[in-house]
Chains A and B, each alone.
Chain A
Amino acid sequence: GEDVEQSLFLSVREGDSSVINCTYTDSSSTYLYWYKQEPGAGLQLLTYIFSNMDMKQDQRLTVLLNKKDKHLSLRIADTQTGDSAIYFCAENRNDYKLSFGAGTTVTVRA
């Protein structure tokens, strides 16, 4: 199985907040990332957080990192239909290789 774990599906009502959770196993990971993949497309870097940070905010996106529990979350405020996609959590283990979770499919309903 993956070293990075995510729930597979999330359904959210338009205008609500979405929270996608991720757990990782390597405490030496220096950077953690969130990627977005729209249907038929490649992965797009949404945001990243350095391991010495607890939180990072970027417009509608908030990333929270709990190093003690090795837990990473992505909150999307005011979720829109354009936010429907697969979201991947990834960790960098100091060797320029990223390990990805299986991805969380977010469906935004009207």
Chain B
Amino acid sequence: NAGVTQTPKFQVLKTGQSMTLQCAQDMNHNSMYWYRQDPGMGLRLIYYSASEGTTDKGEVPNGYNVSRLNKREFSLRLESAAPSQTSVYFCASTSFNYGYTFGSGTRLTVV
């Protein structure tokens, strides 16, 4: 009964380094999402995948890329990390209008 699993939970990067945030769900959900959370700004959508094989930009896609590897997995890649990407990143999934299921988050610091 894992739900949405994100790895890693914490990460510190140097400016210019790259990394991939992993997300997997075991609920057979069609749609998956990546959000970032910054103080006082709520959650902002980075990218989403409405179904396996499709990805679309959200509100703040610059500096990120995504891959919907299969129905279960949706990864977020930072090619060249910047301090402005310091944030908490959440993955979520859903199949219906009854709300999203969120992972526990990845806390990323870029120095």
Q: Which residues of A contact B (CB under 8 A)?
A: 2, 4, 8, 30-31, 33, 35, 41-45, 48, 88, 92, 96-103
When the two chains form the complex, which single residue of A31, A33, A45, A96 contacts B50, counting CB atoms closer than 8 Å? A96
Could you tell me if A88 and B43 are in contact, using CB atoms closer than 8 angstroms? yes
How distant is the Cα of A8 from the Cα of B101 in the complex, in angstroms? 24
Asked whether B74 is an interface residue with its Cβ less than 8 Å from the other chain, the reply is: no
Chain B contact-residue range equals 20 to 34
Query: Which chain B residues in 49-92 approach chain A with CB under 8 Å?
Result: 50, 58, 90, 92
Could you tell me if B104 and A42 are in contact, using CB atoms closer than 8 angstroms? yes
Residue of A nearest to B4 (CB): A42
Measured between beta carbons, the chain B residues less than 8 angstroms from A35 are 99, 102
How distant is the Cα of A88 from the Cα of B40 in the complex, in angstroms? 11
Question: Which 3 pairs of residues, A with B, have the shortest CB-CB distance?
Answer: A42-B102, A45-B99, A100-B42
